[in-house]
Amino acid sequence: MTGHEEISDRDTQINPALFVSRSLDEIRFWSRIMKEHSLFLRLGFRCEDTQLIAEANNFYHVFEQIEQRSHAFNNQTSPEVIRKFNSEVQQAATNIFAFKRKVLGLILTCKLPGANNFPLLVDHTSREANYFRKRLIELNEGKLKPLPDAIIKENVFFLRIMADHAKFIGHLLDPSERKLVDLARNFSNDFDELVFQARDIESMSPQSKTVPLLDQFLDQNRVSVVSLKDFKKTARELIEECKIKSIIHPLLADHVFREAERFLEIIDMFERHLTGVKPRSI
């Protein structure tokens, strides 16, 4: 596909093989993420929040089981079995979304004084749960968004996620780690700008859906995501080796690194489809 004309606005039908592999890929990635969110939330509650701790633990087990089951299936599993599995997982994602929003409400009304989950972190994890549910609904409906819409929407979503990560790292590092805090703040500013740029492209749609504009959009985002991913990798190593002062759980450092990797894979896949090399798989 070349030229400056707008790109097709039709939905893409998903074939059964792609449906199975795509569903399993999403569930394997995001169920582990949801499981880890449950752990992070639990660590942030106060000792007396026994009910919330029990709920978080319950979600941990729910998503641990989903993750295990997803690895027991493979690309040969029948689409009907996967369709049922998707609905079940989607329900679990909806439940953890509701739990996160409830916790956010408690924090914002000052019902959990002294607890250690930032409101933005809770909101952020709820957005990830919502993304996961929506992906499963979309897959079960058998349709994928048209490529240009998918490119714009995924980037608006993930750029904001990356901007949040930079903010969390900056706030959970010890304030005496001045250089690293500065670096994290620069990433936060860089990604805030990219979020605005992505929203501008979105508001200029459908006229902005041209191959050259979307191609450049992806290239520019990729450059920043690669450097943020490297920064997260370094932070993860420094935390694991106990070389820096912070209250970042090593698993959280790894978690945000994996989410950056996921975004990069999505960007690369879009790039390949935009240049017409391969059929879509998202």
Binding site for Fe ion (CB under 5 A): 33, 128, 259
CB of 4 to Fe ion, least distance (A): 35
Quick one: 132 exposed, middle or buried, by C-beta within 10 A (0-12, 13-18, 19+)? buried
- In whole angstroms, the minimum distance from the beta carbon of 187 to Fe ion comes to 14
φ, ψ of residue 173 in degrees (nearest 5): -70, 155
Would strands 143-144 and 12-13 be described as parallel, antiparallel, or unpaired? antiparallel
Q: How far is the CB of 41 from Fe ion (least distance, A)?
A: 11
Minimum distance from CB of 126 to Fe ion (Å)?
10
Q: Which is nearer to Fe ion, 180 or 228 (CB)?
A: 228
**From the CB of 131, what's the least distance to Fe ion, in Å?**
10
Specify whether the CB–CB gap between 141 and 2 falls below 8 A: no
- Rank residues 138 and 259 by Cβ distance to Fe ion and give the closer one: 259
Sign of CA dihedral 146, 71, 133, 253: negative
**Cis, bond preceding 206 (omega within 30 deg of 0):** yes
Cβ burial of 200 (10 Å; 0-12, 13-18, 19+) is: exposed
Comparing CB distances to Fe ion, the nearer of 55 and 259 is 259
Q: Nearest approach, Cβ of 228 to Fe ion (angstroms)?
A: 12
> Which residue's CB is nearer to Fe ion, number 18 or number 129?
129
**Which CB atom, from 20 or from 26, has the smaller least distance to Fe ion?**
26
Q: How far is the CB of 162 from Fe ion (least distance, A)?
A: 8
| Cα–Cα separations (whole angstroms), residue 245 to 28, 177, 241 | 32, 7, 11
Between 22 and 35, name the residue whose CB sits nearer to Fe ion.
35
- Least separation in angstroms between residue 157's CB and Fe ion is 11
CA angle 183, 122, 51 (to 5 degrees): 140
**Cβ of 234: how many Cβ atoms within 10 Å?**
15
Bridge partner list, 123: none
Of 79 and 250, the one with the shorter C-beta distance to Fe ion is 250
Element (H, E) at 94: helix 79-108
- Containing 37, the helix (H) or strand (E) segment is helix 16-44
Q: Which is nearer to Fe ion, 19 or 191 (CB)?
A: 191
On whether the CB atoms of residues 218 and 156 are closer than 8 A, the answer is no
CB of 260 within 8 A of CB of 228? yes
Q: Say which DSSP state 38 is in.
A: H
